[in-house]
Structure 1
Amino acid sequence: MLLGVIADDFTGASDIANTIAKGLPGQGGLRTVQYLGLPSAAADAEVEAGVIALKSRSIDAAVAVEQSLDALKWLLDQGCEQIVFKYCSTFDSTPAGNIGPVAEALANALAVKGVIACPAFPGAGRTVYQGHLFVKDRLLDESGLENHPLNPMIDADIRRWLRLQTVSDVGHVDIATVHDGAPAIVAALRRHGEANRALVIVDAITDDDLVAIGRAAAPDRLITGGSGIAVGLAANFIERGLARGTVAGALPVDGLEAILAGSCSGATREQVEIHSRNHPTLAIDVTGVMEGKVTASELTSFLLANRGRAPLVYSSGTPDEVRAIQSRFGRENVAATLDGLFAETARHLVSAGIKRLVVAGGETSGAVVSALDLGALAIGPEIDPGVPVLLSKGDQPVALVLKSGNFGAPNFFTKALERLAGR
């Protein structure tokens, strides 16, 4: 294994696995596998990039550090030359969050300084300019992410935000330096490392910027960022002759289908509304769930009764609706209860023969795949930027899509089910 990734949630793991497997146009990527949690056995010999999906984004920082260091050890044991710590391209994290502590712990374990920190993903509208994170044409704290139910982002200055979580100061490499090319980026990172800064925010507004950053990072033991940071990493190994470059092929699985949506993002709410115009759709009564009146069996019955018609159940709500529910029942309690509901529903569905499963929302996806215990997932073609087809191994494979809340075109759900079937 050449490249190892530690991802702090399951949709993000799929996102960066897709980026690495795709590589640069005309060159291809690395043979990539996504692991659902820390693997218990060694990787297969043909795996060139391994992505470990943790559910560590919103847990206690000390626990997130411990899990990430365990993942680091496994990846190093597989022979990885380079490690990527992948977090959300909207930097989902509170001032007491996990991005800084995990990144610093990994840097200390690998004895490195001046480590790239770049959440940019231009293909999904996330750019970093002058150390500030933008979502399309809006600063992060004006983009709707300030209303995130678990990690409200109220400051677009990610240097300042990250500094709240770290022991050392945070550096910055501006866009002018990035445009000067890889040697200039390397020199700037070295200066920050010599100043004892563990992490350095690096500006990026286009994929070409990310390729330049990737070239600068070729010798680095550790990189941190969103999935976009991996755009040029496969090329480094291919150009050194350590990998040949491959293209993810079709992984079609036809059969019964279902959609579970637990994201409250604006993009997912729009996708649910569009899907509901032509397909059976059930809104989950969250108050009923919290009071024990709505169960996984009820959701499963609805989905199975409408199989063949792309049925969807969802708990997505407006920011005001979410705040009202959280105020009444407690934020963590609501999140954990809904995660459990979706997890149990997914188990029932797969037991009943569902072969194509689309899941929206990072926390929801983590709960679902943890409950299904599918092991390693093969990476298939991209559906929309950052969202690939995933396929479990075994005699009874399940085709999956794990979608981050803000990703995907308005007609994403229908498109995803079609792509899972190879159509």
Structure 2
Amino acid sequence: MIEIGAVADDFTGATDLAIALRERGFRAVVSIEDAPLDAQELGDADAVVVALKTRTAPVADAVAQSVAAVQALEAVGSQRFYVKYCSTFDSTPQGNIGPVLDAVLDELGEQRTIVVPSFPDNGRTVYRGHLFVGEELLEHSPMRHHPLTPMTQSRLRDILAPQTTREIHEVSAPTVWEGPSALRTALAAESAGYTVVDAITDADLETIATAVSDWRVVSGGAGLALGMTGPRPGTLSQIDAVPGRRLIVCGSASAKTRAQIAHAAATLPARKLDIEAVANDPERVISDTLSWLGQLDAAEIPLVYTVGSLDDIRRGSDGNTVAGGIETVLSEIVSRAAHDLGVAQVIVAGGETSGAVVQHLGIQRLHIGPRIAPGVCWSAADSLHGPLTIALKSGNFGSEDMFTTAWRALDDLTD
């Protein structure tokens, strides 16, 4: 029986949630958008996360895709539903979080849900309704300068209000600290709509998850799942690591990923793609990069990246954004490297880039394996070029040395 059916607004967010569910005793599978959900193929999965690419899609598209995913999850017997968004609540005044939540509630005939983006393990907490990134308010964090969804407010109620006509309530930390019963009473006292619930620690998330364990729809970042209890506590599903060459590709513009690139480039062979060339002659960029990869020793772990500064991803010479071109080029590099060079173990950094790579490889399912860092894991997948072991990393996640240390988890699987 599928206890949790989840809809995630990007691919790294989907794996992020699946990791948390796996660690709480759910056998989790990530299904890529447009891949048909078949109960027999899902096997003994307790949780299914549908990975969409809707975070920055037009509102109507994001709503339509999310509703279709919910309908598919209903059809395979999901008991409860989880709308997963980023722990930094990435959105614009038009959406997409509010419109998607509205549509999911309407589709399922529900009147309310909670809003809990907190993920303390990654420094995302909510206190007095305000979202913090580490010790900074969201509006003072690097997310203020995000090229697609700049976050200039910190109170979740204020961010969500322009996106929905439903009422928005808040429950503060002292009520959460009184325990599940008190929180359940406080939530029941609110009228229909959305309730932002403070959460500062994993214990707070457990209290919240317990208090709403009978709610049909919940919403939050991946952290909320860390408060849940699955049917297989203490049991972690494993994957087989596919032998082959290794590769790291980065399309993220985040400050965290730029720091990870700088750290890795000190010891790994690294190649920065020229943004002007990506925009004007992408085939040459792809060919030159594959030639460079082919000349490296097979034991090397090469790093291919595009972003040295925010300007690299924002503008090309014509003044237009080139993010889509970057994703296409990186996807083609990974695909050809897998087909021609025997690359079988890949780290992809950046939510949009991860989505493009997975789609380009024709991957339909990700089977969740060992954790690399909070919100990041290795997964097993079948691609157009054969089996792969792949890690999809949100731009803001992972330690500074992640690109050099992530491989240890795979080495442990083969020891």
What TM bracket, shorter-length normalisation? over 0.9
Match of 2:370 in 1: 381
TM-score, normalization by structure 1: 0.92
Say which SS state the counterpart of residue 88 (structure 2) adopts: coil
For 1:177 and 1:258, how far apart are their aligned partners in 2?
47
Instruction: Give 1:88-107 correspondences, 5 Å limit.
Output: 88-107=86-105
| Equivalent in 157, 160, 178 of residue 158 of structure 2 | 160
| Equivalent in 390, 396, 399 of residue 400 of structure 1 | 390
- Cα offsets for 1:142-190 (capped at 9, x unmatched): 1111111111111111110111111212111111111111122222222
- Cα offsets for 1:93-150 (capped at 9, x unmatched): 1111211100111111122233111110000000011111101000111111111111
Say which SS state the counterpart of residue 47 (structure 1) adopts: coil
- Cα offsets for 1:388-413 (capped at 9, x unmatched): 11001489320000000111111101
Match for 2:339: what amino acid? S
TM-score, normalization by structure 2: 0.94
Match of 1:149 in 2: 147
Match of 1:266 in 2: 255
Match of 1:280 in 2: 269
Match for 1:156: what amino acid? S
1:303 aligns with 2:293: yes
Match of 1:17 in 2: 18
For 1:214 and 1:327, how far apart are their aligned partners in 2?
49
Structure 1 position 274, deviation (Å)? 0.8
CA RMSD of aligned residues (A): 1.8
Match of 1:31 in 2: 27
Match of 2:324 in 1: 336
The 8 Å contact of residues 12 and 351 in structure 2, kept in 1 or not, is answered as: yes
For 1:124 and 1:244, how far apart are their aligned partners in 2?
23
Instruction: Give 1:43-192 correspondences, 5 Å limit.
Output: 43=39, 44-192=42-190
Instruction: Give 1:294-373 correspondences, 5 Å limit.
Output: 294-306=284-296, 307-323=298-314, 325=315, 328-331=318-321, 334-352=322-340, 353-373=342-362
Match of 1:26 in 2: none
The 8 Å contact of residues 114 and 189 in structure 1, kept in 2 or not, is answered as: no
For 2:293 and 2:149, how far apart are their aligned partners in 1?
30
**The 10-residue stretch of structure 1 (164-173 or 79-88) with the greater mean CA deviation from structure 2:** 164-173
For 2:203 and 2:313, how far apart are their aligned partners in 1?
38
Match of 1:222 in 2: 217
The 8 Å contact of residues 303 and 312 in structure 1, kept in 2 or not, is answered as: no
Alpha-carbon spacing, 1:396–1:120, altered in 2? closer, same or farther (3 Å):
same
Structure 1 position 284, deviation (Å)? 1.2
Alpha-carbon spacing, 1:30–1:245, altered in 2? closer, same or farther (3 Å):
farther
Match for 1:345: what amino acid? I
| Equivalent in 380, 399, 417 of residue 407 of structure 2 | 417
Say which SS state the counterpart of residue 80 (structure 1) adopts: coil
Give the unaligned 5+ runs of structure 1: 24-28
For 1:413 and 1:304, how far apart are their aligned partners in 2?
20
- Cα offsets for 1:255-281 (capped at 9, x unmatched): 201110011111111111111111110
1:7 aligns with 2:8: yes
Give the unaligned 5+ runs of structure 2: none
The 8 Å contact of residues 4 and 79 in structure 2, kept in 1 or not, is answered as: yes
- Cα offsets for 1:277-307 (capped at 9, x unmatched): 1111011111221122653222222233224
Count of paired positions = 406
Match of 2:36 in 1: 40
Identity %: 38
For 2:12 and 2:252, how far apart are their aligned partners in 1?
12
The 8 Å contact of residues 259 and 358 in structure 1, kept in 2 or not, is answered as: yes
Say which SS state the counterpart of residue 159 (structure 1) adopts: helix
Structure 1 position 322, deviation (Å)? 4.2
Alpha-carbon spacing, 1:91–1:163, altered in 2? closer, same or farther (3 Å):
same
